[in-house]
Amino acid sequence: MSRPIRATISASALRHNYAVAKRAAPRSKVFAVVKANAYGHGLERAFAALKGDADGFGILELEGAVRMRQWGCRQPVLLLEGFFQENELPVISEHDFATVVHCDEQLRMLETAKPRALDIYFKVNTGMNRLGFPAAKAKAALERLRTSGVAKSITLMTHFAVSELPDGVDDAMKALENVAQSTDYPRSLANSAAIFAHPKTHANVARLGISLYGATPFADRSARDLGVMPAMTLSAQIIAIQDLKAGDTVGYGRTFRSEGPMRLGVVACGYADGYPRHAPSGTPVMVEGVITKTAGRVSMDMITVDLTPVPQARVGSSVELWGERLPIDDVATSAGTVGYELMCGLASRVPVLEG
């Protein structure tokens, strides 16, 4: 490795975070959500870390689900958006995947193809207004599914829009109960926020996403508050130092102007590595274990940081962009985004090491 940047992924942190969620929802199965290449952490790496612990896995990509079976996955694997074409159904049957069914088109494909009976997660739209049968039409669709003969099992499922709020699941739960009345189907309701904030949603199967990777879904509760640990640390080094005088500007657009003499560190990390280009001056960064801040615009391959709080910094000094000591949520908040995006945006050119 010549360019001094790397991401370190901690298998022990993934296992720790999964165990934290299991303790929070002790009577539920907890599926580890590994969509989007395990939120940028690497699907194979995440599976290897969790294969001995996870009750099941949730994923979007059929190809990734098949690879997990090839790697020896024996747990349930749930396709979170279901299938997109009828010709995917034989593959789903062959590998014994569970599938979400969220719309009339999917239901019609099942009725036409008549695949070997599948484990179906019947998704109800309770206010997110993305996927799911509208609550007013869900009862009839559920009855169609029940009588179709294609369901080996049926689990009712929904996804909460604002489960991070104290009352954020109440309306959705009422809508679901209206659909579920007079049935005893198992349920899959809770996402990361609901696992930690709304025990009444834990039900039969909870789906652990962002907190599996050590970030928080809450604005007012940190990852540390939840007891989860960062699984990804993005680190680099100082590759140059500039001494500025009062009035000197930094970077494209000259958006940062020095108010007085300062030392500026140039870090081998930019938006082509996955660092957010829209991160403003003042975004936190850690140099030699000391929190400082960025100065100027993020470039493709570099960011520049204020070394005033780190007088000992030199070329070759260690820099943590986010991770073990600098929470990814702090960086995301400064950049006006969420930790999910930063994790998923890690570029392929960044070497990944096992932590």
φ/ψ (deg, to 5) at 110: -65, -45
Residue of 18, 35, 213, 340 marked active site = 35
35 catalytically annotated: yes
Cβ atoms of residues 213 and 50 within 8 Å: no
∠ CA 279-297-260 to the nearest 5 degrees?
Answer: 110
Among 106, 95, 109, 39, smallest CA distance to 65 is for 95
∠ CA 202-205-206 to the nearest 5 degrees?
Answer: 60
Cβ atoms of residues 206 and 188 within 8 Å: yes
Sole residue written with tokens 């260690």:
318
Tokens of 137: 């039409």
> Exposed (0-12), middle (13-18) or buried (19+): which is 300, by Cβ within 10 Å?
exposed
Bridge partners of 33, per DSSP, are: 58
From residue 163, alpha-carbon distances to 98, 190, 193, 220 in Å are 25, 9, 6, 13
Residue of 114, 174, 200, 252 marked active site = 252
Please count the CA atoms within 13 angstroms of the CA of 163 that sit on its side-chain side: 24
DSSP state of 294: B
137 catalytically annotated: no
Among 36, 27, 82, smallest CA distance to 55 is for 27
Tokens of 279: 């991160």
DSSP state of 350: S
Hey, which residues are catalytic here?
A: 35, 252
